[in-house]
Amino acid sequence: MAFRLFVGLLLVFLFCSSVTSDKTGSDIKWWCSQTPNPEPCEFFLSSKPVAHSIKHKSQFQKLAVHLALERAVKAKGRTEGLGLQLRNKKEKAAWADCVELYDNTIRQLNKTVDPNSKHTGEDAQTWLSTALTNLGTCSDGLKELGVSEYMSPLMTNNVSKLICNTLELNKVAPSKQKYKDGFPDWVPTGDRKLLQAAAPAANVVVAKDGSGKFKTVKQAFDAAASWKGKGRFVIYVKAGVYSENVVTKAKNVMLIGDGIGKTILTGSKSVVGGSTTFASATFATGGSGFIARGVTIRNTAGPQNHQAVALRSDSDLSVFYQCSFEGFQDTLYVHSQRQFFRECNIVGTIDFIFGNAAVVLQNCNIYARKPMPGQPCTLTAQGRMDPNQNTGISIQNSRLLATADLGSTIVYLGRPWKQYSRTVYMETFMGAQITPAGWMEWVGNFALKTLYYGEYRNTGPGSSTANRVKWPGYRVITNPAEASKFTVANFIGGNSWLPPTKVPFTPGL
């Protein structure tokens, strides 16, 4: 029974709609009425004396984030307490993800309210978006491992609702802070030369033949996590095939390989094999400021094992340059935060670029490969849960290609995984494998009115929009000003944090 209540608490959450107002006052009921979810707001704030003296919107906004944080801490504590009561392997796997994801949600909310944290409104919206995405990921894991049958429709996850409220309130807070000398907080100003480092400047070298300090990639990232030095920790991985699953939360790490197809990290975890999608990644990075260059990351589980991630990134302000991500279903999990991919290869079958980060893929090669018989290919499945999340997938100046075995398989540009799914293709070559309709439904009419799917000045035999879907949320973008919202400069604020990485990028159209 306890686990059933746990699942009910974690699974059911409501998505939000926008409400704005400039009126001020001290009435809790009135203030909460300005949010998408007034009921839990009013219920939890009524018992707090400080809430009865609200005079300004900024006060209410801070109080709303603190409230979400307080409820998240309580929810995590209840979730942790259920661990000893679980016996089923799948229940334990889903539970472990949820504990980790609640912990990350608490970290994101803490950063937002930390008085010593210098951040912009865009930073806060990114962290709040991540906090909400984490709870959705917890829910997804419960469903895919088959424990959602215990869900009680009478239970609701008030943490999700309260975070939705903060997203609505924060979106009107303009950003005025500037990054000092073009660097965000996580990049030391003396780090420019190190960011260009190759093997000689590496902190540690990994080599299967024993010529480095370590023989496994995991050992190197363990060393990075315990490192007490300043600046960036550089890991050079020599050519070879490294069969291991690596999960790291170390900050300011740079992973350098000998190039695509030479330095290879490979694993085979999958949902059919008993993992959640979240935990199936061959390589997962959560520490801010992660950079990877010249590596291949694979998941070899195969199309018959369904969701099986090669790379999962939860790293804010992360960069992947001249890398390859190879798998089948769910190859590249751009889970959350702000990310940039340049000159990378992504290979897969179904939903193989997915997640709820704010991400730009630029000058990349995206290969559809043969799925299970009778299945189509879907390139993207974007997971925006709330209209105020600043997330989406932007694919610019890239190439949509096919592997030799694809045959006559139908290929779609994407489908809406979540209610406010947002994906844009700009200035990209689309091969003949792209079906004339372009996009695929998730199920029935779900999200067709609330999604945002756009195409702008694409080329190639699959780029014609003459027979595209007629959904309310789909649009052919003709105005450069509309398209520019999804560029590196505007969508992920790349002019602020990409220059010191020395990775080339195009800031606009």
Q: Which domains does the chain have, with CATH numbers?
A: 31-170 (1.20.140.40), 228-501 (2.160.20.10)
Report pLDDT for 56.
85
3-class state of residue 124 by DSSP: helix
Mean pLDDT of 87-102: 88
- Asked if 278 and 288 touch (Cβ cutoff 8 Å), the reply is no
Give the tens place of pLDDT for each residue, 354-403: 999 999 999 999 999 999 999 999 999 999 999 999 999 999 999 999 99
Phi, psi dihedral angles at 264 (to 5 degrees):
-125, 125
Determine the straight-line distance between the first and last CA of the chain, rounded to whole angstroms: 55
Percent of the chain with pLDDT over 70: 87
Residue showing tokens 């001290």: 26
pLDDT at 267 over 60: yes
Alpha-carbon gap, residue 509 to 228, rounded angstroms: 41
Give the tens place of pLDDT for each residue, 279-299: 999 999 999 999 999 999 999
Burial of 169 (0-12, 13-18, 19+ CB in 10 A): buried
- Other CB atoms within 10 A of residue 504 CB: 11
Give the tens place of pLDDT for each residue, 152-174: 332 346 899 999 999 999 985 44
Residue showing tokens 């190879």: 326
Alpha-carbon gap, residue 317 to 68, rounded angstroms: 24
Give the tens place of pLDDT for each residue, 11-45: 433 334 333 334 444 588 899 999 999 999 999 98
Q: Which residues belong to the active site?
A: 351
Alpha-carbon gap, residue 326 to 423, rounded angstroms: 21
Burial of 49 (0-12, 13-18, 19+ CB in 10 A): exposed
- Which residue, among 117, 116, 256, 132, has the nearest Cα to 184 in the 3D structure? 117
* Residues near 110 by beta carbon (within 8 Å), at least 6 away in sequence: 69
Q: For all residues of the chain together, what is the average pLDDT?
A: 88
Q: Hey, what are 64's tokens?
A: 């709303």
Report pLDDT for 384.
98
Residue showing tokens 């917890």: 138
C-alpha pair distances (Å), 148 with each of 58, 235, 269: 39, 41, 22
pLDDT at 151 over 90: no
pLDDT at 177 over 60: no
Alpha-carbon gap, residue 351 to 369, rounded angstroms: 12
pLDDT at 212 over 70: yes
Mean pLDDT of 477-490: 96
Phi, psi dihedral angles at 304 (to 5 degrees):
-75, -15
Mean pLDDT of 431-436: 97
* Residues near 123 by beta carbon (within 8 Å), at least 6 away in sequence: 111, 175
* Residue 395, strand partner residues: 361, 425
Q: In this structure, which amino acid lies at residue 153?
A: P
Go through 404-431 and write b for each residue having 16 or more CB atoms within 10 A of its CB, e for each that does not. Answer: eebeebebbbbbbbbbbbbbbbbbbbbb
